Amino acid sequence: MPERWDQAGFRDRVDTLLAGFLGGEADQLVAIDEALRPVAGQLRAAAAHGKRLRAAFCYWGWRAAGQPENEALLRAAASMELVHAAAVVHDDLIDDSPLRHNLPTAHVALRAAVTGRPRAHAAARSLAMLVGDHLMALAGQLFATSGLPAAYLARARPLWAELARELIAGECLEILSTGAPPDTDRSLKVVRYKTAKYTVEQPLLIGASLAGAAPGLRAGLSGYGLPLGEAFQLRDDLLGLFGEPATTGKSGLDDLRGHRPTTLLARAWQSAGPDRREQLTALLGRPDLDEADLRAVRGLLRELKAPDQVEELIAARVREAVGSLGGLAMAASARRALTDLAHTATDRPC
């Protein structure tokens, strides 16, 4: 039996690396002008939380291809977390979300830096947008300066372009679908491109490509990564509505107020008759929703068995992902770690 992977130890190493890297970049901003200190603070805070799943998937893509532990690879893998940090800042800005990890989001926190200025609200949002842009640029910088040989980095470069394209496409699809009648196929497409691919599949493939993995292994890792990434986001949608804010770090009303195209709401709509659809229509997209409305929506969705349907989608995708590992030629330690990660990513109770 292979020794169990130390996920907590890996997370600590990534935390330390990112804190040092972003701290250095924040110091350079402040050295340009003291007025940039609030922006530098948001840069430091941007990657302060998380389970480091994206870095872990990149790392195990590398290890699955037979490459050994490598400090340069850790830096390359950590760059995946900066992609996520950039996506979070932009996503919160687009959704106008006030909280993340029970803390003010970047565009909310930066209001203090422009209080009393003309168009202060817009100015804070602009500052947050630039923080997100800078984080994406820093992700590329950390990857390129990881210390891996140039030939290794060149193998993964096309995947970076694909990652950025598909992440932006997913965000755009969500915006274009927001407020439209709920549709399961559309919501699953948003899930796939906005979150699933850059959370699991692409980090895995980047790690495997850096390692020079054969096409068959890369295809097998896609067969694991894509359904698992979808299961991850489906779990997140459930937590968004049914989770406790103290645990999720954000309001359970966000998806309802924003009338976002989640699979959970799409499944409820699909199961609802005319009366129940009328009830949902009266609630979705209203900015004045309160806790009583949240309880009403939760009760309605449970009545329509929408959470059960989404749980079934999650379970099916996890089975597909873990099952795909059986036929892949990789070390037992990699198979064990990827199996553990599949459950870490999706076993988050509401």
Residue 286 counted as domain residue: yes
Model confidence band, residue 40 (pLDDT cutoffs 50, 70, 90): very high
What is the predicted pLDDT for the residue at 349? 57
The residue with tokens 């590398």 is: 62
Give CA angle at 190 (139, 217), nearest 5°.
Answer: 60
**CA distances, 325 to each of 75, 158, 198, 272 (Å):** 26, 25, 19, 38
Task: Give the CA diameter of the chain.
Answer: 64
What is the predicted pLDDT for the residue at 37? 98
- Is the pLDDT at 65 greater than 90? The verdict is yes
- The separation between CA 336 and the C-alpha centre of its own chain, rounded to angstroms, equals 23
Tell me the pLDDT tens digit for each residue of 52-63: 999 999 999 999
Lowest model confidence (mean pLDDT) among 75-84, 93-102, 103-112, 134-143: 93-102
From the number of C-beta atoms within 10 Å of its C-beta (0-12, 13-18, 19+), residue 328 rates as middle
Residue type, 189: K
What is the predicted pLDDT for the residue at 283? 87
Residue 238 counted as domain residue: yes
**CA distances, 342 to each of 200, 228, 332 (Å):** 10, 7, 15
Residue type, 158: P
What count of other Cβ atoms lies within 10 Å of the Cβ of residue 13?
Answer: 18
Residue type, 63: R
- Domain limits at 219? 7-346
Indicate which CATH number applies to the domain containing 199: 1.10.600.10
Residue 82 counted as domain residue: yes
Residue 73 counted as domain residue: yes
Residue 132 half-sphere exposure toward CB, CA atoms < 13 A? 21
What is the predicted pLDDT for the residue at 303? 95
Q: Are 227 and 320 in contact (CB under 8 A)?
A: yes
**CA distances, 236 to each of 37, 227, 241, 298 (Å):** 33, 14, 9, 15
Residue 1 counted as domain residue: no
Residue 116 counted as domain residue: yes
Mean pLDDT of the region 259-281 = 91
Tell me the pLDDT tens digit for each residue of 107-164: 999 999 999 988 999 999 999 999 999 999 999 999 999 999 999 999 999 999 999 9
What is the predicted pLDDT for the residue at 3? 58
What is the predicted pLDDT for the residue at 1? 41
The pTM score is 0.94
What is the predicted pLDDT for the residue at 327? 85
- Phi and psi, residue 99, nearest 5°: -130, 150
Residue 54 counted as domain residue: yes
How far apart CA 62 and CA 337 sit, in angstroms, is: 12
**CA distances, 27 to each of 22, 31, 143, 337 (Å):** 9, 6, 20, 36
Residue 2 counted as domain residue: no
> For the residues of 30-99, what is the DSSP string, one character each?
HHH-GGGHHHHHHHHHTTS----HHHHHHHHHHHHTTPPP-HHHHHHHHHHHHHHHHHHHHHHHHHT--E
Mean pLDDT of the region 240-265 = 84
- Is the pLDDT at 251 greater than 90? The verdict is no
Q: Residues of the chain with pLDDT > 90: what percent?
A: 79
Mean pLDDT of the region 272-277 = 92
Tell me the pLDDT tens digit for each residue of 292-318: 988 999 999 999 999 999 999 999 999
What is the predicted pLDDT for the residue at 75? 98
Domain count, the chain: 1
Q: Higher model confidence: residue 5 or residue 154?
A: 154
- Is the pLDDT at 246 greater than 80? The verdict is no
Tell me the pLDDT tens digit for each residue of 176-224: 998 888 899 999 999 999 999 999 999 999 999 999 999 999 999 999 9
Buried-state track 227-240, b at ≥16 Cβ within 10 A, e below 16: bbbbbbbbbbbbbb
Of 162, 220, 169, nearest to 191 (Cα)? 169
- β-bridge mates for residue 104, sequence order: 99
**CA distances, 146 to each of 68, 69, 138, 143, 210 (Å):** 16, 14, 12, 5, 12
